Amino acid sequence: MSKPSIPQGTRDFSPAEVRRRQYIFNTLRDIFENYGFQPLETPSMENLTTLMGKYGEEGDRLIFKILNNGLHEKKEADKEKLNAEWSKVLEKPYATPVVTERALRYDLTIPFARYVVMHQNELAFPFRRYQMQPVWRADRPQKGRYREFWQCDADVVGSTSLINEAELLCIYQAELLCIYQSAFHKLQLPQVVIKINSRKLLAGIAEVCGMPELMMEITIAMDKLDKIGWEGVSKELSQRGISEDGINKIKHIIAVTGDNEARLSALENIMQSSETGKQGVAELRQTLAYHKDLASANWQAEVVVDISLARGLNYYTGVIVEVVTNAVKMGSIGGGGRYDDLTGLFGLKGLSGVGISFGIDRIYDVIEELNLFPQELATGTKVMLVNFGGANEQYALRTLQQLRNSGIAAEIYPDASKFDKQMKYANKRGIPYVILPGDEEREKQMLSLKDFTTGEQKMVTLEEVITTLNS
RNA sequence: GAGGCAGUAGCUCAGCUGGUUAGAGCAUCAGAUUGUGGUUCUGAGGGUCGAGGGUUCGAGCCCCUUUUGUCUCCCCA
């Protein structure tokens, strides 16, 4: 009656999928290590209070909350409070430690900030770490969107006093851009575009338009430019209460074209009346200058200044980036940005950082769709020994041990089943070689080695088997 | 939170305007074949047609409710 199933938005990963995912993880890990980042892991669950209020209103709703244990054991006095809070939960989107003290990790950045604050005295700043772990969102699943998915993050935090000028954070930002390019180069992802913008520029636009308080409204509308076009955006802008005059100015800003420097120059002119806006331009310019020195000519992924880029997470304060590939219809495959004072949320002032995130589940989907996984990933057991039972089984087991000692992934069929059944099993598993240790082989102290891809079979010594399989 | 589509064997799906005992391919198991797989042939097992109610002489099919999956919008990686 009840067929087994898994929760909505979660997935099993079969052996071949795990191999392909590990290929992506390993590629990223190598690059992170190569850039001097250190690994970090944090718990799957955090205290609710650590997470709430960090991701915006929508974010709070999407946090997976864990129901407290032992609610029925509460004392009568506590139960009254529990009842009061519970009815609030039933009424509206609401979360309270009284009911849910813990919640599943929503991203890797906030737990990282929490970690930095808790271990501030042990860490050497600037602290560079990478982290590859699953995160959970109580979102509605659809294509490229899961409720459990993995992020691979790299962040640098340092004290602003150490780094004298805030602009110097740009060098880290430039490094992170290089990590993106290097990673997508290694994974051979085509048509990758790294969009870069600055929250300060967005704030500048709002200022220039004379309505700084509507910055969020303006950026949300502008973010939809490539989806609904200028006509849609202008309509949305007026719906969101932007004046005719402001819309015209925004139209002007969006119309800026040319290469990155041309865009920045044009934006600089437009931003004359906004200190914040000018600062945004300067930071972008500085970042791109560092990047030029650090980048390799081989990398295909483009870095493009895109004024219409917004990002939902509300802790970003400066440069923001987002990665897309035009080769497949898919949401962004990575994103990140600069945050000032992220740790201030947890009581440690004066630390700033930059970070990036890879959405490896989407990257997987893209590579899969474009058939870009290397062929040779499908490895595993190299050779299976057929089991003929009795003395032959003993002979096979001794051979098996010697093969394994030589570093060859080998296994034996567990019982002396019919011959073709054993062969079919090996074939289905995709094991490339089979060894037949039978009467004749045992008496001669030899082994028959069959190559499943060619069908060839020859009787050779153990040493020859090892040489063949290790080549 | 709003909407579209779907739920029939382990998997992918047929099943006509409602009409005898609900089918196919793949997979599984057994045999042809007791030391030669990936090709072939034969046979077998496997279903309260997502759940509940209604209409009807009769429902896999029509109606209502419910549930699950999937896709789109919102938002995000």
pLDDT of res. A1:
41
A152-161 pLDDT per residue, tens: 999 999 866 5
A110-146 pLDDT per residue, tens: 999 999 999 999 999 889 999 999 999 988 888 888 8
Q: Which helix (H) or strand (E) holds A110?
A: helix A109-118
Query: Nearest CA to A132 among A105, A103, A170, A166?
Result: A105
For chain A, give every residue range classified as CATH 3.30.930.10: 15-64+106-369
Question: How distant is C1' of B57 from CA of A372, in Å?
Answer: 61
User: Closest nucleotide (CA of A425 to C1')?
Assistant: B37
pLDDT confidence of A340, banded at 50, 70, 90?
confident
Q: How far apart are CA A459 and CA A464, in angstroms?
A: 10
A33-68 pLDDT per residue, tens: 999 999 999 999 999 999 998 887 888 888 999 888
pTM for the full predicted model: 0.87
Question: How distant is C1' of B35 from CA of A14, in Å?
Answer: 33
Largest Cα–Cα separation, chain A: 95
- At residue A398, the 3 state secondary structure works out as helix
For chain A, give every residue range classified as CATH 3.40.50.800: 379-470
- Where are the alpha helices (H) located in A345-454, listed in sequence order? 360-369, 390-405, 419-429, 439-444
Question: How distant is C1' of B61 from CA of A11, in Å?
Answer: 33
Which of the nucleotides in strand B have any atom less than 7 Å away from a protein CB atom?
1-2, 11, 28, 30-31, 33-38, 48, 68-77
- Complex ipTM over 0.85: no
More confident residue, A459 or A315: A459
CATH 3.30.930.10 fits A15-64+106-369, yes or no: yes
Is there contact between A61 and strand B, defined as CB under 7 Å from any strand atom?
no
How is domain A379-470 classified at the CATH fold level? Answer: Rossmann fold (3.40.50)
pLDDT of res. A14:
83
pLDDT confidence of A371, banded at 50, 70, 90?
confident
Question: How distant is C1' of B7 from CA of A51, in Å?
Answer: 38
A194 phi and psi angles, rounded to 5 deg: -100, 105
Share of chain A above pLDDT 70, in %: 96
